[in-house]
Amino acid sequence: MTMRSLALVLATLLSAPLWAEPVEVNGAWVREPIPGRAMSAAFMQLSNPGSADKVLVSARAEWAGNIEIHTHTNDNGVMRMREIESITVPAGGNVSLQPGGLHLMLFNLQLPLNAPLALELCFADGECQTVTADIRGMEGPGMGPGKGGHHRGH
């Protein structure tokens, strides 16, 4: 390799980020499970300070047997929950995981849950990061009488 080629390779490597900026996670919480049911949901705010989209593709936790990414859709006036493959957090943007919208559905929970809960989020680029979540009652933010948010059929 010539000196010129080596200089070009080094310049390219040094000008590219050595690692992507991690997604910032704020306000992570898990809804307290309904008595007798080993399932719940997790909510949070995801912010991407980087210059490239970040795609959340999975989540895992020692205290949950399975975690799926879910959304709610309007099916002829009836809100239905369904699993989706991923959530894209746009470059420089934010995504809210909240009751009645995008969320992480948690199955086969090891009860009782004890806060803080460690939850690992994994992205399409292979990066995983661990966040901590609080536990909140059924009357979490945006909930209350008539607000919905139930996870029927799970």
In a domain, 46, yes or no: yes
In a domain, 9, yes or no: no
Domain total of the chain: 1
User: For residue 94, which phi and psi values (nearest 5 degrees)?
Assistant: -135, 155
In a domain, 57, yes or no: yes
pLDDT, position 86: 99
In a domain, 115, yes or no: yes
pLDDT, position 101: 96
- Classify burial at 24, counting beta carbons within 10 Å of its beta carbon; exposed 0-12, middle 13-18, buried 19 or more: middle
User: Could you give the angle at the alpha carbon of 55 between the alpha carbons of 94 and 136, nearest 5°?
Assistant: 60
Tokens of 49: 């300070």
In a domain, 140, yes or no: no
pLDDT, position 21: 87
Rg over alpha carbons for the chain, rounded to the nearest Å, is 19
pLDDT, position 152: 39
In a domain, 14, yes or no: no
Over the chain (154 residues), what is each successive 10-residue block's mean pLDDT? 56 51 96 95 98 98 98 92 98 98 98 96 98 86 41 40
In a domain, 152, yes or no: no
pLDDT, position 8: 52
In a domain, 79, yes or no: yes
Q: Which residues pair with 77 in a beta bridge?
A: none
Give the predicted TM-score (pTM) of the model: 0.78
For residue 19, how many C-alpha atoms fall within 13 Å in the half-sphere facing its CB? 6
pLDDT, position 138: 73
Residue 72's domain spans which residues?
A: 20-134
- Classify burial at 62, counting beta carbons within 10 Å of its beta carbon; exposed 0-12, middle 13-18, buried 19 or more: exposed
Q: CATH no. for residue 119?
A: 2.60.40.1890
